[in-house]
Amino acid sequence: MTNPEQIKESVLEELRCNRLQLPTLPEVALHIRDALKNEDVDLTSVAKIVTKDPAICTKLLQVVNSPLYRSNTPIDNIKMAVARLGYSQIKNLVCSLALKQMYQSTCPIVNQLLHDCWDHSARVAAIASVIAEKVRGLSTDQAILAGLVHDIGKLPLILHAEKIPSLINDAGAMRTLFMSLHTDVGSHVLTNWNFPDELICVAKHHENLSYRLNRTADYTDIIIVANLFAHYGHEHFVEEQDWWRSLAFERINISADEKFITDQDNLTAIANIERILKS
């Protein structure tokens, strides 16, 4: 079954009936979130949870020692990282770094789709982190998480398509499936994960150039712009000359052209975060 409308209706029906296979957050992210619900939690307890995952530890230390956080003193252990950044930022960063574990499969075709999806999300997250530094009231760690989950709706769609060989092997049909459903499915996934409304909004509206919920910039504005920049020089449904149609550029005070994404300082900062997220 590769008829786009039939596929769309099939997925929507599974979503309505709660039969669509949804991903679950990695254990380390769940444990951190649960621990921080306890007001009496201490640095040692939080650090102990993180250190149970060596890969997350390594990447977390790379992030907190990157230029993004501008620490004058090198941070060489997780307890120092927690003390330096605080619980909220650590929770966001651990969740962000853990998400990559979900983008793997033993099926070569599925694995490639997941790999491409993660690579794009990592680039959007890296760009978003640099943009967030320039926007008052928004944090880089939340921007990274927003970038990594903006396309989370593609994950259940890939898992659904894996059961239909004629679909998973049809690149055009997969693109149609993504474009028609990934925002609705993504907002459903993040709601299921009890994510904050501001991130659910990102998943729902990041492709909407007419989006305007608040008078001031929010994370959806940042991801709309970061997503467009991530597609710079590549095929995308919005031509570069039409970027100006998005109100998000005005709200985050960045020009709707290639100046930001070709600035050498921005490119270096983006590359540093992108490298860590993809490693």
**What DSSP line would sit under 106-145, residue for residue?**
SSHHHHHHHHHHHHHHHHHHHHHHHHHTTSTT--HHHHHH
Q: Who contacts 61 (Cβ-Cβ below 8 Å, separation ≥6)?
A: 75, 76, 77, 78, 81
Q: Tens digits of per-residue pLDDT, 189-209?
A: 999 999 999 999 999 999 998
Crossing angle of the two packed helices 54-64 and 78-85, in degrees rounded to 10: 50
Q: What is the CATH number of the domain that holds 198?
A: 1.10.3210.10
Q: How far apart are CA 79 and CA 45, in angstroms?
A: 9
Domain that holds residue 271: 4-278
The predicted pLDDT at position 11 comes to 87
pTM over 0.85, yes/no: yes
Per-residue pLDDT band for 218 (boundaries 50, 70, 90) equals very high
Query: Is the per-residue pLDDT at 8 higher than 70?
Result: yes
Question: Band of the pLDDT at 88, cuts 50, 70, 90?
Answer: very high
State the total domains in the chain. Answer: 1
Inter-helix orientation angle 108-132/264-278, to 10°: 140
